[in-house]
Amino acid sequence: MPKDQPNHSQPSARQGEVGQPELIVRASRQFWKALKLLVFSLVCCAAAVVAVALPEAALWLGSRGNAQLIVVGLAISLMNHCFGSEARTCGLVLEARLGRSTIQNYEAILYNRLSIVNFHRYVRLVIFLLSVFPLTLSVAYKGVDGGETHTNSLYGQLNLQGLFADAHQCNFRLDNPLPDKRATAIMIYVTEPIVTLNTRYPLKLGSYGLNMQVLNHNTTAMLDPPTSDYIQALRQKMFPGQTLYLQASVNATFSSINCTTADTSCTRSAEFLNDSSSSHATWTSTVKVSGNINFTMAAYKDQQVLFFAAWDKLADPPTNFSSEAVGFNLYRGHCDGRWRIDKSTVGLEEASGCVRSDFPGSQRVIVENIDWASLQKLQQVLADAMVTTSDDTIPVIMTTDLSVQSAIVASMMWSKLSSHASETTFYNRYPELDYVTEETLQWSVLTLKREVWLYVIICIQPVMIFIFMIIRYCLRHIPVSNTFGLTSLLAGIDLNSAALLKGASYSGTLNTRVTVTINVVEDGEARGRRCGHLEYVLGTDRKGKAGSLIDGVTYG
């Protein structure tokens, strides 16, 4: 026998005893391997956190399709590998110290298999949880999408990199958003978001469509939107998947029933149009709603008021109205608007700070354009929305929470003005409509939401790997690692123990549970160093010794 060969005649440690701390000083190789896995998983975790939490990184990745999902998914997959490797090693150590220490349990832990026969249920449960856990993380992070990442605000006057129109070009103004110049087409376009709703109930306060803002149940503002040319120029600068938020202080057209003087009170009595005061009306127009119900609109230019009433022409006397005449003030003012623009749609996100203009000249466009010629074409649309002709014998103009009616009145006036704005002479006549305002642009892309749940998904694996390291350190004197080989173990079984195996070779499956007892045997000193070897003893459930395998690894 060679001189350096360990002497196996030394008394073995007590069966079932893993060893004393002084026999194995430290398992430095396994410690450094675990530390490398932890460091690598921390690097992957940091990369994923940066891709989500750092706005610049999220914006850059989000503007390149699914790049952010790929980066985070790759980081989680690599952490899954580190987690699985360290979890197996920790499982082997715990099995050797606290478990039943059977070959089937070791094999199931090593190869992460649930198909092995005769291994214990608690191991099966642990393996199942450790197998499902990484898969759950790989799927869960995709459910935290739907967020947005914004750039810092950029201002129109900076004219950076050709992103903005010329400083002297009007990017916002009362302008026709359609190629069609007909007022009816414009009105149908801007009222589409509300006409599909139930007009018998108040509108929710907020923004609708291109430029409609319902301020309260009585007042609606139609903001001057970004011009079509400006929107097209911005879209040419956008990456696929990008969204642009555009904010500016713009002029707006208002409709409100909050009348301020007795002469323009919000309602009039049934005899309103028969009264002598009706002679002050600039014009009146009547259309048929349904059956015997007619709808009359009267304009009072000096007060910038439109009155509406529904009546039954067969009433006695037929000139009497069956409902009060409701009046709406029309005026121009200012709002701070915020639009959302992507490759296919543009819409008003919100508006605030809406006030009536104190400049007298700003109302001239309203006073001079409340005329019968164009508004009559839009009167039928307004009548259908304002009048209810249910089973009641008396038609009613809804006098409570007139948000729908106010919105349609405002859109009617704005559409009428926009149709005229298609002509250059219109701006020459009303130069106050052609103005320059400072806009604020903010680019945005769809990214993962910055939620606590997402950070938990990203960071939980490094934390668990660290916990596994602590457990392994506490049990560091157990000579088991994920390099523990079952093939060499089974190959060392005596021929008399071959009956334990099922199959043509020692690589088959075991017929019964076989325990593995790991003994640390001290061999004395070799070359001035204290050394020893491991002894693996196999036994059946009957605790009988079936054979032994001597591992020549020397610890010192």
Per DSSP, the three-state class of 380 is helix
pTM of the predicted model, to two decimals?
0.61
Pick the closest to residue 512 from 128, 102, 129, 134 (CA basis). Answer: 102
C-alpha separations of 228 from 144, 225, 420, 441 in Å: 35, 9, 16, 16
Lowest mean pLDDT among 470-474, 498-502, 550-554: 550-554
In this predicted structure, what is the pLDDT of residue 351?
93
| Band of residue 289 on the pLDDT scale cut at 50, 70, 90 | confident
pLDDT tens-digit series, residues 522-547: 777 777 777 777 676 766 554 444 44
Residue 449's Cβ-count burial label (10 Å; 0-12, 13-18, 19+) is: middle
For residue 397, pLDDT beyond 90: no
d(Cα 475, Cα 465) in Å, to the nearest integer? 15
User: For all residues of the chain together, what is the average pLDDT?
Assistant: 72
In this predicted structure, what is the pLDDT of residue 547?
43
Domain boundaries, the chain: 1-23+481-556, 28-146+448-476, 150-447
Structure tokens at 80: 């899954």
In this predicted structure, what is the pLDDT of residue 314?
67
For residue 212, pLDDT beyond 90: yes
| Total Cβ atoms within 10 A of residue 444 | 20
